[in-house]
Amino acid sequence: MNEKYSELILKAGQISLVSPYHLASRIKQEVGPFLSHSSISGTVDGFKGLYNFYNIGATSSAEPMGAIKNGLQYAKDGKNASEETKTKYLIPWNTKEKAITGGGIFIGSSYINRGQNTIYLQKFHVRDTSSENLFWHQYMTNVLAPYSESKSIYNGYQKTNLLDLPMTFIIPIYNNMSEIPTDSPDINQNNFEDTSFRAYCNGTNVNIRTGPSTSYEVITQITKQDKFTVISKGINQGEKWDKVILENGIIGYIFQSYVTEIQEPEEEIINVTDIQLDSTEAYLQVGDTFKINAYIYPDNATNKNILYSSSNTEVATIDENGMISAFKEGNSVITVTSEENSLIKKECNLIVVSRMEDSEIHFDSSLILNGLEVSGISFLENKVSDIKQKITTNYEIQIVNSKNEVLDDNKIITTGTKIQVKNDNLILREYTILIYGDVNGDGRINSVDLLVLQRHILRIEEIEGVYMKAGNVRKDGKKPTSVDLLLIQRHILGLQTINQK
């Protein structure tokens, strides 16, 4: 040829209306970067002088070189295609220029210009609404092709300084997608044990990878003194890697020798900066007890002692552990203060109402009552109508959302939903629903909850009250941590169901 491959690819892009960067990356994906593949050698017996740069029609076969021969058969006659089709795609591909351009026209007209305009959609067809077939008209059988080919495209744009150009990304969004990347199936989970501790990097320009070996892709780099949280510790023989969450939320693997656990300072005094409560409003019946959990920030504060007080001890008192005891009807403000700094404090509004006996209102044994907080709700029976059927009373039962909007019977129950017991439009009781794992209060446990809880743990956007309590899926009264994140992720993946009891 008298032209460079780059010139042929640019020309093919103009004719086919397909990005030449995509054509170049597709060629690299299909026949490799060294242009020595048999599909483009022109020397295969029975197909000499024929070329197929994109492996179009190269379906698998048990015959030696079967896939290559199938692709070259397409280059020869389009596998018995009509004359109209062969003319459209410049078949036979008996020159490299015709093969590169004709194949580009094929990709453009058969995929990109018909809506399958990303590498992902060429592998996973998600737009076929006419049937249940979601994988129709695949270009490739290689599941990892979108991943590796998109890397090639990225590298091409990066090397030519085009990453700052405006781009449109078409990303299919599925229900229940995890915000935390799922590990590759070839990562043996038996080589790791769950943990949670703070650490820092003791090396310079250390790679964070997608998996626990140098064969995995580098996600980013960190350097000396950069901090992170170790969520899984490698325990296998030989090379050991830890799974970590970086300060910016990136999750990946780091070689264990670069990890140094942060030890509590012996002499340095760490001042308290904040207090958080898992209950900012509490309703109790006379005679009830209810525990408020308070958390000091930062985690390594020197003085973690907390002081509790009630503004009306005739109505209710609170002990040194945060346990409230309700004595008579009325209101009180529970104040939680840092012993170190009295200016750092939070309040919980307490309402104590007269006690309802079982003869007046009875909850099914499947539900769990803690004061006027209700948990134990099954995801199989989580509609308003389901909950109403589990309450026996002569009073009116009304269920409202967190905005006090009345919910229809077919709506689902969520964290923060309230059960109101009414008599002649007067609210006698108000119970608050708690669903462990439903951190954002939409009644489902999915990737949104992972994101909300992760942002809370990293203190980017904090949650409080019953929503914070919902994030503590371990139900140990502690603040949510990365361990709770992993438990929610395992629930989403169907590996371990969050127990609502």
Q: What is residue 283's predicted lDDT score, i.e. its pLDDT?
A: 84
At 78 the pLDDT is 94
pLDDT: which is higher, 33 or 44: 44
Q: What is the pLDDT of residues 435-493, one digit of tens each?
A: 999 999 999 999 999 999 998 888 888 888 899 999 999 988 888 988 899 899 889 98
Name the helix (H) or strand (E) containing 212. none
CB 413 within 8 A of CB 441: no
Asked whether the beta carbons of 112 and 106 are under 8 A apart, the reply is no
Nearest to 349 by CA among 243, 256, 465: 465
Residue intervals in the chain for CATH 2.30.30.40? 189-261
pLDDT band at 393 (very low <50, low <70, confident <90, very high): very high
Q: What average pLDDT does range 219-223 have in this prediction? A: 92
Q: Among residues 182, 121, 172, which one has the least CA distance to residue 150?
A: 121
Pick the CATH number of 274-353 from 3.90.1150.10, 2.30.30.30, 2.60.40.1080, 3.10.20.30: 2.60.40.1080
Considering the chain, tell me which residue range(s) the CATH 1.10.530 domain(s) occupy: 5-159
Decide if pLDDT at 354 tops 90: no
Residue 129: the pLDDT is: 60
Q: Would the CA dihedral through 126, 132, 135, 136 be positive or negative? A: negative
Residue 88 has pLDDT above 80, yes or no: yes
Percentage above 90 pLDDT, the chain: 53
Query: What digits encode the pLDDT tens for the residues 279-303?
Result: 888 888 899 898 999 989 888 888 9
DSSP assigned state of 344: -
Tell me, what's the pLDDT at 156?
Answer: 82
**What mean pLDDT do residues 241-269 have?**
86
- Residue 180 confidence (pLDDT): 63
The percentage of residues in the chain with a pLDDT greater than 70, rounded to a whole number, is 96
Least confident of 105-109, 138-142, 430-434, 473-477: 138-142
Indicate the residue type of 125.
Answer: H
What's the average model confidence in pLDDT over 307-322?
A: 94
Q: Residue 132: what pLDDT?
A: 60
Q: Which two tokens stand for residue 141?
A: 């059988």
Beta-strand runs (E) in 29-75 = none
**Average pLDDT value for the chain:** 88
Can you identify the CATH homologous superfamily of domain 189-261?
SH3 Domains (2.30.30.40)
Per-residue HEC secondary structure of 356-418 comes to: CCCCCEEECCCCEEECCEEECCCCCCCEHHHHHHCEEECCEEEEECCCCCECCCCCECCCCCE
Instruction: Phi first, then psi: give them for residue 228, nearest 5 degrees.
Output: -160, 175
Domain(s) of CATH 2.60.40.1080: residues in the chain: 274-353
Encode pLDDT of 167-196 as tens digits.
Answer: 888 887 777 776 666 777 778 888 899 898
pLDDT score of 135 more than 70: no
Provide the CATH topology of domain 5-159: Lysozyme (1.10.530)
With a cut of 80, say whether residue 324 has pLDDT above it. yes
pLDDT range class, residue 134, cuts 50, 70, 90: low
Q: Which amino acid is at 66?
A: G
pLDDT band at 97 (very low <50, low <70, confident <90, very high): very high
The rounded distance, in Å, linking the Cα atoms of 69 and 46 is 9
Q: What CA dihedral angle connects 167, 170, 174 and 178, to 10 degrees?
A: -20
